[in-house]
Amino acid sequence: FGTCCKTPCSSSCSVQAGLLQPINRFKPKNPEVGTLRILLYGPQGAGKSSVFNSVDSALKGRITTRALAHAVETDHSFTVESKTYKVKKDSPDSYFPFNFTDIAGMHGEDRGIHRDDIIKLLNGHINSGYTFNPLKPITNEDPKYIKNPTLKDRIHCLVAVLPANTVSMMDDNIIRQMSDVRKEARDLGIPQVIIMTKVDESCPLVKDDLKKIYTSKKIKQKVLLCSIKLGIPVSCIYPVKNYHEERAIDDTIDILILDALKNIINFADDNVEDQVDSD
């Protein structure tokens, strides 16, 4: 599944370094876009905030918790604002040329983010810091509304975050909402991937040894199910384990996260490379 590096543990450090090197050197090819924008969306409790924290941790080489995430399952999404996170490099005032927008989780009832707000985010109309109202989408009078977004304001890759352990029980209404967003992104030419989280909670073998993610039949079944649910090719689905209880960096977790990140920024870069802003 996907393009995960199927590697023996003895070479994990070299694989990790091989993934980090192109990410550290990466620059968008389109000069109009200095920073690629990646949008994380999905159901409540899928681990969107933890995905960003895991990316940040893998790049920094230490555990970070910049995006606040719930420690236990909850019926309410912890993220209520559209918050965009820049990813800092080691050197002072230096950032990676990509960022992540983390938004409130979608809900089967009227308690999650409004679908129309996500569509406006895709088009670059919503500024970071906007507080979501699940019953009322943003209006063009809102101070956080960008009336005339340019290419750099738009989303360059859409990342659905789905939990492997509960994907088979996802609410049909959430699937419909996510499919609507996916269709809008498709019409805009925005590349799409799935990050499948909580693999350790889905397969006991993987829980005992994360390296068995590469051979687990159960994980393969979950990847196929994610593909069927959202219509995204298996090659664009990345099973990962987020940093959650860990107090130190783990090479296997890093490899899964960095492999997904490498492909996401490449897809986003392909999206903007040939676009010319008409504004």
Q: What are phi and psi of 239, to 5 degrees?
A: -75, 130
How far is residue 107 CA from its own chain's centroid? 18
In the prediction, which pLDDT does 112 show? 62
Q: Write out the H or E segment, with its range, that includes residue 115.
A: helix 115-122
In the prediction, which pLDDT does 80 show? 65
Domain spans of the chain? Answer: 34-273
Give residue 78's pLDDT band: very low, low, confident or very high (50, 70, 90).
low
Over residues 246-258, the mean pLDDT reads: 96
User: Which amino acid, residue 101?
Assistant: T
Mean pLDDT score of the chain, rounded to an integer? 88
In the prediction, which pLDDT does 2 show? 47
Give residue 109's pLDDT band: very low, low, confident or very high (50, 70, 90).
low
Beta partners for residue 102, in sequence order = 40, 83
CB 134 within 8 A of CB 117: no
For residue range 137-152, list pLDDT tens digits in order: 999 999 999 999 999 9
- 162 has pLDDT over 80: yes
For residue range 234-243, list pLDDT tens digits in order: 999 999 999 9
- 166 has pLDDT over 70: yes
For residue range 1-22, list pLDDT tens digits in order: 544 544 444 477 888 989 999 9
What are the residues whose beta carbons fall under 8 Å from the beta carbon of 150, sequence distance 6 or more? 32, 124, 277, 279
- Rounded distance between C-alpha atoms, residue 97 and residue 16, angstroms: 20
Give residue 79's pLDDT band: very low, low, confident or very high (50, 70, 90).
low
Give residue 82's pLDDT band: very low, low, confident or very high (50, 70, 90).
confident
pTM, to two decimals: 0.89
| Higher pLDDT among residues 155 and 116, named by residue | 155
Closest among 240, 233, 230, 243 to 260, alpha carbons compared: 240
CATH ID of 34-273, from 3.20.20.70, 3.10.100.10, 3.30.300.180, 3.40.50.300:
3.40.50.300
- Rounded distance between C-alpha atoms, residue 68 and residue 209, angstroms: 27
Give residue 209's pLDDT band: very low, low, confident or very high (50, 70, 90).
very high
Q: Write out the H or E segment, with its range, that includes residue 237.
A: strand 237-239
